Structure 1
């Protein structure tokens, strides 16, 4: 059984399923819910953000506030299982930041949601889940949404 599980969390149904899986399967493990702010993939990052430091700081603060809202949701889910979660925010490219967080938080397992049917973009650029499977220094468990 892992001692510390890292769950990348963006508030999506897949992230929620990953967190529920961790809470039900590893209730005695430490759990860190991680939100990653990635300018390259975040749909709220308009072109040009970061060109001026004040704009970057404002946008980053807004994303951190969004993370706090997501952490409230994640904590509510964990409470259903009587599991306590820690939270963290990383800034940078998704896969790199999540991989780096394994050392930062001492995680020995990553559990991440993975799409059952990859989109064109995922096939071209690779999905976060497949990037983690290829690059993570710790085991990665992927949780797939049932295909309907």
Structure 2
């Protein structure tokens, strides 16, 4: 498992609002450029169609479609999913880190050869950079 952690300059409720909205997943998770959630939305066992990043992987063509299954939802605290085609687990956990701050921990796990060949080892850190930027932008509005 590869993890990255960062303190975000936003209250946990605000960060959760961002990550819990299915259509915002591509805004902060770098492997996807689009999402079509099923009618269940954010719920365990929900199945979402995702459009993949245009960056090529060793085992896949750029772009394309995929399926993720939501495996864990703890309101306000954590979200996890399974990327079926990539055989990867990923998710985010949120904790309070002082007034108006949130500690976000993002992870990805799967076969080590796939993490390496697909460039997935950098996904948690890249996701946190995106989340940080989104929270900073929202704080300025």
**TM-score between the two structures when normalised by the length of structure 2:** 0.31
Greater C-alpha Rg: 1
Q: Normalized per residue, which structure has more helix? A: 1
Instruction: Tell me the TM-score normalised to structure 1 length.
Output: 0.30
Higher relative contact order (CA closer than 8 Å, sequence separation 6+):
1
